[in-house]
Amino acid sequence: MNSDTKLNNFQFKPYSVLYEQLIIRCRTLYLFVILLAFVHISIHPLPALRRVRNSYTNKIKELDNDEKDLFFVSAYYYGVGYSLYKNQVTLTFIAPRDAHWERRKIIAIRSDDTKTVLEPLQIHRATPHNLCKYVTLVGTIVLEEELTELELLVNGHTAKIRYLPADNKPKDLVVCTPPIYNNVRWQNVLLAAHVYTSFGGHLQTYVATTSRPFFEFLEELKRLKGISVDSFPDFYGKSKLDGIEFGGVTVANSDCLNKYKNHHKSLNHRNSGPSSRRSLYNKMLKELHHLLHRFE
């Protein structure tokens, strides 16, 4: 038995030397691959965009990486007739926190009746924290001439952007509320509507999901108080709403600011905290009682 063991050791010894040489050479190859990876990361430190999604037209541009999406929310154009921010376009986006889109180059392609010009977009991160998976980005561009069409160019791919005219009607006060999910913040809407009644302001609210009776309630407030109600787009599906900045508070406030920033001195961002003004609560309860009787 000892002779067999010696024979086996003698037979496999050359192979063990070969395996050892292969491991050494492969280790060198692995180190070289890791070095190339670090060089690539140092040259291209940011992830690639997969698609630019337009929430109004639902056009999707397929690009590279599913986890690094850049979602377009809204765009407002301040034309030549505005006293402030003349010929400026402001855009709101949602992007994954770790994608660092505020450091990437996004090119705006603006077109008028005679020519097309490419200009870099100035991107600023509106989210001040790193607690949520997705953050809000705001982009601005100042144009030399009037705007006809607008596109975004990212990594060689373009996406048409639907822009809306910014609000230019004189307002003493603009109140912005967070998005409403399943009637959760209906008290905010009623309280802010009283702010409009008491101080001559304007209410801008956003609705993500709601029931039909509450929608009719909002329509009644819209008719009686003159409030503005916009739908809040569902970018990621209901299962991922928790990852969008506490239900989209920053997104809604950024959109509201871009829409009404011509009245920046009178903007008021109202959150879901209780108000200390007892008189406003008394008025709110009286109006709620009145409105509920209207639907009976």
Specify the higher pLDDT residue, 49 or 108: 108
Are 209 and 182 contacting, i.e. CB atoms less than 8 angstroms apart? yes
pLDDT at 291: 54
Q: pTM of the full predicted structure?
A: 0.65
pLDDT band at residue 96 using 50, 70 and 90 as cut-offs: confident
155-to-27, 49, 101, 158 alpha-carbon distances in Å = 35, 7, 13, 8
**pLDDT tens digits, residue range 212-270?**
888 888 888 888 877 888 888 765 555 555 566 767 888 888 999 889 887 655 455 55
Contacts (Cβ under 8 Å, ≥6 apart) of 267: 174, 176, 256, 257, 260, 261
Amino acid at 188: N
Domain ranges of the chain: 52-165, 174-294
Alpha-carbon distance 274 to 281, whole Å?
10
Q: Which fold has domain 52-165?
A: Immunoglobulin-like (2.60.40)
Alpha-carbon distance 71 to 189, whole Å?
27
Provide the terminal-to-terminal Cα distance of the chain, rounded to the nearest Å: 99
DSSP 37: H
Tokens of 80: 């030549």
Phi, psi (degrees; rounded to nearest 5) at 139 = -115, 145
* Rounded-to-10 torsion of CA 63, 108, 127, 173: -140
Alpha-carbon distance 166 to 260, whole Å?
7
